[in-house]
Structure 1
Amino acid sequence: MLRKNAEAIVIQRGWLSRTSEAFKVRLLENAELLKFDTGHVIFAKGDKAGGIYGLVSGTLGIMAAPPYSTPRLIDIAVSGDWIGEDSFISGKPRRIELVAQNETWLLHVPLEKMEQMAELDPDNMRAFGVMSILGADSMLRLVHDLQKKSASARIASALHRICWATHIPVAVSQESLSVITTTSRKQVNAIIKRFVEEGWVETGYRSITVLNPEALKHHADEDMAD
């Protein structure tokens, strides 16, 4: 992965795309480009406070749980997503866990670099705070999607949420999809087969490619209209 390509990807969508040009330049100057293999734990719940990670390519599993509970997969992060600002804001240990679902490239900004940026310019602190707002928005959508009554609507919502662009495979197994949509693997298998027949998605080895996001969204929204 070339550094210039990595930077081009993360400024196109997600949190960094909403920041000023000056902030983008300063943040990327402080970022390290890192590669992780499948199954690598980027950080775990309870780890000491650290910096943020921006996903360039690959897929990350987001694991979370209330205090004193075992983290479970709750969502999938895709290119352009940034995660880990909670330690910077609170100064406390990590509250979630990130696991590479396949070969993954990340841009990492260490905690001390973030603190230096915040001290240099108060507007930088505000820019970092926007990450938490976007994270809260994502959690609101996640809860909203899980409130849908039909399994097919929940699965359509999840695919629309995590497949940020058409014709780009996202590494997500049917087992993971069943967990984040609270459905059985048997249901997932049958519903994905139907979506393939409709021409909405294609499947590969432990991956799904969305072909028609509008159709998925329309199908998911029908559940809320009932």
Structure 2
Amino acid sequence: MSRFAVWQLVAQIAARLCYNSDEALTNMTAGCCLMTETNMAFSPDLDRVFARRGWLSRQSPAARRQVLEMSRRVAFDTGENIVHIGDSAGGVFGIVSGGVGTIGVTDLAGPTLGHVMRPGAWFGIGPLLTSGQRSMSFRAMEETELVLAPLSELRPAMTTDPAFAVMIAQLTEETTRVGVEVACEALIRSAHRRVAAKLLRITAVRDGVVSAYPQGFRINQVDLAEMTALSRNHVNRILNDFQASGLVALSYNHIQITDPEGLAACAREAEA
């Protein structure tokens, strides 16, 4: 191994160790890993992202600004792990652009990719409530920008401001609700209906989310097969059926939802 490769490895390990503390990202310098960071997150453009959908869209403009002003912006490349199961916590994340995959594991199954979140969504709240380690992993499914609200900022606000604590409780409720909805759709018996529901869920097109790619959302058939408990070949056949019906347009590692309401009608069809 070259000296440069050794230095890269050491830098990545050091960055990871820093990242697992509340001061994680402030101590990370450019080039240590694929993640990049900028300082305080608030801007009018950013405020508009979180005013459109998700937890902060249901809060007052002042409350939304409070959360964003305590946050910092971070970016991840495609395939980069954001946090791992068992990591010490650095804070709670909000999605500015891109997509974040949620990966769970039990003592009987996993790790399994179950869902992809889109701009406006927040994740990683568990350690804020439990003071424990991460119980899920999160991965950037494409080039992704996030904001990170550190625990060192969130905890004092929860302690001193009852309204802020209520706002965090609302995020907990939303996270639980989305998890139940994902599980409910995963239990759809018809494979065609299940894939249709999953595509709508992981793209959020019916919420107004638009892909950054002209050819559609970056979704490969292997990941879609994992999220729908089907074989890759089965998923490929279903996607080709959808394309023939004008519901989607397919290209390499990308899916464009061309008829969201038609796809929703497919997902709602009665079980045979």
| TM score, norm. by length of structure 2 | 0.77
Q: Which residue of 2 aligns with 1:205?
A: 252
The one-letter amino acid paired with 1:136 is T
Identity of aligned residues (%): 28
Confirm or deny that 1:115 pairs with 2:162: no
Confirm or deny that 1:183 pairs with 2:223: no
Q: Which residue of 2 aligns with 1:93?
A: 133
Among candidates 27, 36, 45, match of residue 76 of structure 2: 36
In structure 1, C-alpha distance between the alignment counterparts of 2:201 and 2:74, rounded to whole Å: 25
Tell me how many residue pairs correspond in the alignment.
225
In structure 2, C-alpha distance between the alignment counterparts of 1:68 and 1:87, rounded to whole Å: 23
| Equivalent position SS for 2:217 | coil
Q: Which residue of 2 aligns with 1:172?
A: 219
In structure 2, C-alpha distance between the alignment counterparts of 1:219 and 1:102, rounded to whole Å: 27
Deviations 1:138-157 (A, max 9, x none): 12111211221111111000
Q: Which residue of 2 aligns with 1:75?
A: 115
Over alpha carbons, which structure has the higher Rg? 2
Cα root mean square deviation, aligned? 1.9
Contact 1:163 1:209 in 2 (8 A): no
In structure 2, C-alpha distance between the alignment counterparts of 1:70 and 1:212, rounded to whole Å: 33
**Following superposition, which runs of at least 4 residues in structure 1 exceed 4 angstroms of deviation?**
67-70
| Equivalent position SS for 2:96 | strand
Contact 2:47 2:64 in 1 (8 A): no
Q: Which residue of 1 aligns with 2:195?
A: 155
Contact 1:31 1:108 in 2 (8 A): yes
Instruction: Note the C-alpha offset of 1:201.
Output: 1.3
The one-letter amino acid paired with 1:184 is S
Deviations 1:16-73 (A, max 9, x none): 1011222101001111111111121111000012311111111111101125864221
Structure 2, gaps ≥5 residues long: 1-37
| TM score, norm. by length of structure 1 | 0.92
In structure 2, C-alpha distance between the alignment counterparts of 1:214 and 1:32, rounded to whole Å: 36
In structure 2, C-alpha distance between the alignment counterparts of 1:34 and 1:138, rounded to whole Å: 24
Structure with greater contact order relative to length (CA < 8 Å, sep ≥ 6)? 1
In structure 2, C-alpha distance between the alignment counterparts of 1:143 and 1:70, rounded to whole Å: 15
In structure 2, C-alpha distance between the alignment counterparts of 1:209 and 1:5, rounded to whole Å: 25
